[in-house]
C-alpha cells in the first residue's frame, strides 16, 4: 500500500483526537511496549539496504518484516497508553487500531513480497520458506545480536530518525493529554 504512512498518520491523529487517557499506570506500561517497538525499528533500519539487496541478516533473520513488527508493537503500546475509564472512547480507540493497522500492513507486506519475489526470485522464495513474516523465530534470535549486522551509515540513509522524532512527538501528545485531561 503506497499510502501507508499517510493512512497511518491520519489514523493516529484520529485516535489521539478521540482518546482521553486517564491512567498513569497504563501510560508507563504502554510506553515500555512502545520503546520495544521503536528498538526493533531502529535495529531494522540499521540493517536493511533498500532496493539494492535482499536483507536477510541481523533482525531480518528473525522475521521478514521487523520494521512493520516494530510499528505494530508501537501501535499496540500506544493503545495501552490511551486507556480510558470512558469505555466508549476506549472501544473507539481500539476499533480504529484494529481496523486500520492490520489492513494497511497486510496490504503493504503482500505488495512488497510480490516486488521482492520478482526482484530476487529463488533467494526470496527460500527466505519466505525459512523466515516468518511477523512473528519472530526465537531460535534465530542469536543472529539478531551480532553487531556486525548493523551499520550507522545505513541507519542514516534510511532516515529512521524521522520515525523516532514522530514517536517522541506522539508520546509527548499522549503525556499532555493524560496530564491535562484533554
- pLDDT tens-digit readout, 58-76: 999 999 999 999 999 999 9
Domain that holds residue 161: 4-180
Q: 66 near 109, Cβ under 8 Å?
A: no
Q: Is pTM, for the whole model, over 0.85?
A: yes
Per cent of the chain over pLDDT 70 is: 99
- H helices then E strands: how many in the chain? 7, 0
Domain count of the fold of the chain: 1
Taking the CA atoms of 68, 71, 73 and 79 in sequence, report the sign of the dihedral they define.
negative
- pLDDT tens-digit readout, 129-175: 999 999 999 999 988 989 999 999 999 999 999 999 999 999 999 99
Amino acid at each position: 500500500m503506497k499510502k501507508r504512512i499517510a493512512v497511518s498518520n491520519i489514523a493516529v491523529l484520529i485516535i489521539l483526537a478521540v482518546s482521553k487517557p486517564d491512567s498513569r499506570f497504563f501510560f508507563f506500561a504502554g510506553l515500555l511496549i512502545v520503546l520495544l517497538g521503536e528498538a526493533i525499528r531502529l535495529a531494522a533500519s540499521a540493517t536493511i539496504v533498500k532496493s539494492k539487496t535482499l536483507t536477510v541478516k541481523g533482525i531480518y533473520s528473525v522475521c521478514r518484516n521487523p520494521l512493520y513488527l516494530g510499528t505494530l508493537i508501537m501501535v499496540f503500546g500506544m493503545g495501552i497508553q490511551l486507556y480510558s475509564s470512558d469505555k466508549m472512547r476506549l472501544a473507539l480507540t481500539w476499533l480504529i487500531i484494529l481496523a486500520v493497522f492490520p489492513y494497511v500492513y497486510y496490504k503493504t507486506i503482500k505488495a512488497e513480497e510480490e516486488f521482492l519475489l520478482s526482484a530476487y526470485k529463488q533467494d526470496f522464495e527460500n527466505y519466505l520458506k525459512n523466515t516468518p513474516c511477523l512473528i519472530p523465530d526465537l531460535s534465530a534470535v542469536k543472529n539478531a545480536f551480532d553487531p556486525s549486522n548493523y551499520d550507522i551509515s545505513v541507519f542514516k540513509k534510511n532516515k529512521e530518525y524521522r520515525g523516532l522524532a514522530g514517536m517522541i512527538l506522539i508520546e509527548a501528545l499522549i503525556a499532555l493529554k493524560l496530564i491535562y485531561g484533554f
